[in-house]
């Protein structure tokens, strides 16, 4: 897969993997790597592009949007899973 400025490293992703996986119960093995989905969401969020303009080397835009919808639902505290994950990443490198 092509590297984009919005991507995070696999090591950084390990800091947020648990938070992202907690969003939904896994009933069957995932067909798409959660890291690729998260990097695609970062590409959209940081670049402000349209969903359908997501580069083809990311997972399908429908798949990425599905996870985005789950990750942006707010909990009782008013925070989303995506917000919690983004707070765990060191953004000073970008």
CA–CA separation, 49 and 68 (whole Å) = 14
Record the tokens describing residue 65, joined without a space: 């949007």
Question: Contact at 8 Å (CB) between 32 and 59?
Answer: yes
What are the structural domain ranges in the chain?
A: 10-93
**pLDDT for residue 74:** 87
3-state secondary structure of 44: helix
Report helix, strand or coil for 65.
helix
Q: To 10 degrees, what angle do helices 34-47 and 61-71 make?
A: 80
Return the pLDDT at 92.
62
Tokens of 38: 């998260």
Q: What is the pLDDT of residues 1-12, one digit of tens each?
A: 688 999 999 999
Q: What is the pTM of this model?
A: 0.88
pLDDT single digits (tens) 38-73: 999 999 999 999 999 999 999 999 999 999 999 999
pLDDT band at 79 (very low <50, low <70, confident <90, very high): confident
């Amino acid at each position: 897969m092509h590297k984009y400025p919005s991507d995070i490293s696999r090591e950084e992703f390990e800091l947020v993997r648990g938070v992202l996986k907690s969003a939904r119960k896994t009933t069957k093995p995932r067909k798409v790597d959660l890291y690729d989905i998260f990097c695609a969401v970062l590409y959209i969020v940081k670049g402000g592009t349209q969903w359908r303009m997501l580069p083809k080397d990311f997972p399908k835009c429908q798949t990425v949007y599905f996870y985005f919808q789950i990750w942006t639902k707010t909990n009782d505290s008013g925070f989303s899973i995506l917000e919690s994950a983004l707070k765990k990443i060191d953004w000073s490198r970008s």
